[in-house]
């Protein structure tokens, strides 16, 4: 099963990364939030699906090696959702974390890069289109 977000009037299709054991850290994180927190993060994901790479700072930023961050403040915490673009129509949300330092920890960027490598090794553009259409 693949977790896919269906947003209204989307330009980009949002995919929650799942590992090969069908676990999605980002999906589980969002599901763990209370209703107000979940609404806030999902509204920002919706905006990301509409704006894609045109979502400006301070809401989004490019970090390193084409890994991006969605910047959200939830109950005082600086939450970061890392993501990457692929196949000209998809945004893959890799994972999230609470930012406690001035800079994004390199281990979080490396984690997102490893997720991207795994994802792109397992799915090509045709696979994603088929899976997306099956899950609509």
Output the domain CATH number for residue 106.
Answer: 3.30.2310.20
Domain assignment of residue 68, given as a range: 3-134
Number of domains in the chain: 1
pLDDT of residue 125: 94
| pLDDT given at position 10 | 59
The residue assigned the tokens 């107000």 is 36
Q: Which strand (E) or helix (H) includes residue 55? A: none
Residue ranges of the chain with pLDDT lower than 70? 1-10, 136
């Amino acid at each position: 099963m693949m977790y896919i977000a269906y947003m209204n009037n989307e330009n980009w299709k949002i995919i929650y990364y799942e590992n090969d054991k069908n676990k999605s850290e980002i999906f589980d994180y969002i599901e763990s939030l209370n209703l107000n927190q979940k609404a806030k993060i999902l509204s920002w994901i919706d905006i990301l699906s509409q704006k894609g790479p045109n979502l400006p700072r301070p809401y989004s930023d490019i970090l390193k090696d084409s890994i991006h961050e969605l910047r959200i403040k939830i109950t005082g915490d600086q939450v970061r959702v890392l993501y990457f673009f692929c196949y000209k129509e998809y945004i893959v949300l890799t994972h999230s974390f609470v930012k406690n330092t001035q800079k994004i920890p390199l281990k979080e960027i490396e984690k997102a890069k490893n997720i991207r490598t795994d994802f792109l090794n397992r799915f090509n553009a045709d696979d994603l289109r088929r899976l997306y259409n099956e899950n609509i």
